[in-house]
Structure 1
Amino acid sequence: MIRTVLSWSGGKDAAVALAEMRRAEDVHVEGLLTTIGTETNRSSMHGVRCELYERQAAAVGLPVEFVELPADATNEAYERAMAAVIEGYAERSIERIAFADLLLDDVRAYREEQLSNSALDGYWPLWGRDTAALAADFAERFEATVVSVDGEPLGPSFAGRAFDAQFLADLPDEVDPCGENGEFHTFVWDGPVFEKPVSVTTGETVTRPVGDGEFHYCELLTPT
């Protein structure tokens, strides 16, 4: 069994990757790895609070480790932080890190470069999958909420929606069904990899600048 850590966004592709890895006879998933902002205590692109990732990890029965990054972190700062984490994994005899990337060659090449001088290998259990088929299958088997959307191809009304067949039908033709180009991000709260659902409700949607554009973020709340 190959001891593997999964790079965890909390979204649909990561959840499908976890399901695939748990079905594989030669993979043992040791835990999840997530990056969050030190100032916000949230994922930068998803806007999801650290507490929700902790609840999500508990619901899938795995420990989660957080890499904290400042809001203005450079690539060099990110790479130093990840190198330290990778070194720690190697000391614990972790053999590889899994990524849920589907088709972006440049992203995979970057990850491979970061691992090239380490003791860990990269693993891509979903690489090359058809994104339309994967999205449709996910919508049938999992429950997820769209937590952030890129304001250029999508309006704020897409944030906070369930990731389901209707959401997919409403996407503009130029938007990848899995949001593989960063068009949207999700938070998965139930499905085959979960021992129990993560109870969440949707709150306010806010718009914030990101780079040269803007993203619409829907706040996820835990019922009281």
Structure 2
Amino acid sequence: MAKRIALSWSGGKDSCMALERLVAAGYEVALLVTTVPQELNRTFAHGEKTEMIEQQSDSLSIPVHFIRCSLNAYTETFIEDLVQLKSRYGLDGIAFGDIYLEGHRQWGEEVAAAAGLEALYPLWCRPEDSVKLLTAFIELGYKAAVIRIRKDVLDDSWLGKELDQNFLEAIQQQTVCPLGENGEFHTFVWDGPLFQYPVRFTYGQILSQDSSQRLEIHPLI
């Protein structure tokens, strides 16, 4: 019997590629898990509206659970919700889309262990192999765009860029991780092999934050 797992879901390329690999390996992804600040209907990871995550969930036919937490109690609330989800969905583990940052992996493994779950890292690789993951994402036919950048490493011209062959070539000319593993850029995925239909959205204004620029995206119903 296939293991039933949850997937930590940001709405971007890494979590989507993790889903692709998990499905190909025969895991049953029972639900997506996304953290949301208690006061906002936006994700912790990329600042996206929860409606956009819900549209991805609908297209993927995988339910999403929003963990509503504060920054101060982030880990504790994450564990509490995982314990409840483990019972409700009969989970065996939880998967994360981290690629090579050891601190992120340690956190995920500790959280999973506290909830009595196995921690899975389907994308884990060496930093120098990250470009291969980006290449695979593009060649598989997934569609994504840059919606957030770090001001200190990329400029506004990268916002709204689609992840295609031109992007693959251009990002390798920058002094950043090709997959943005250090937060250099974040993406939103709207279509691909596992999607039943494209997620429809429109671009809004660019919002400046302390260390990043974020391109608003709005759902089209």
TM-score, length-scaled by structure 1: 0.90
Aligned to 1:122: 119
Aligned to 2:208: 207
Residues 45 and 148 in structure 1, CA contact (< 8 A), matched pair in contact too: no
Q: Report deviation, 1:38.
A: 2.6
Whether 2:79 is the aligned partner of 1:96: answer no
Aligned to 1:46: 46
2:220 partner letter: P
- Unpaired segments ≥5 residues, structure 2: none
Aligned to 1:184: 185
Aligned to 1:222: 219
Q: SS where residue 173 of structure 1 aligns?
A: coil
Distance 2:190 2:34 in 1: 16
Aligned to 1:79: 75
Q: SS where residue 116 of structure 1 aligns?
A: helix
The residue correspondences of 1:161-172 to structure 2 (distance < 5 A) are 161-171=161-171, 172=173
Q: Report deviation, 1:128.
A: 1.1
Q: Which moved more, 1:4-13 or 1:113-122?
A: 113-122
Check 1:94–1:45 CA distance in 2 against 1; reply closer, same or farther (3 A cut).
Answer: closer
Q: Report deviation, 1:42.
A: 0.7
Q: SS where residue 103 of structure 1 aligns?
A: coil
TM-score, length-scaled by structure 2: 0.92
Distance 2:117 2:96 in 1: 13
1:104 partner letter: L
2:29 partner letter: V
- Unpaired segments ≥5 residues, structure 1: none
1:89 partner letter: L
Q: SS where residue 160 of structure 1 aligns?
A: coil
Distance 1:199 1:100 in 2: 24
Q: Deviations over 1:150-177 (max 9, x none)?
A: 1110112211221222223333432111
The residue correspondences of 1:132-171 to structure 2 (distance < 5 A) are 132-140=131-139, 141-171=141-171
Whether 2:47 is the aligned partner of 1:60: answer no
Q: Report deviation, 1:220.
A: 0.7
1:96 partner letter: G
Residues 179 and 185 in structure 1, CA contact (< 8 A), matched pair in contact too: yes
2:113 partner letter: S
Q: Deviations over 1:90-139 (max 9, x none)?
A: 32321100011111111101211222333111011111162101112212
Q: Report deviation, 1:189.
A: 0.1
Q: Percent identity?
A: 36
Q: SS where residue 29 of structure 1 aligns?
A: strand
Q: How many residues align structurally?
A: 215
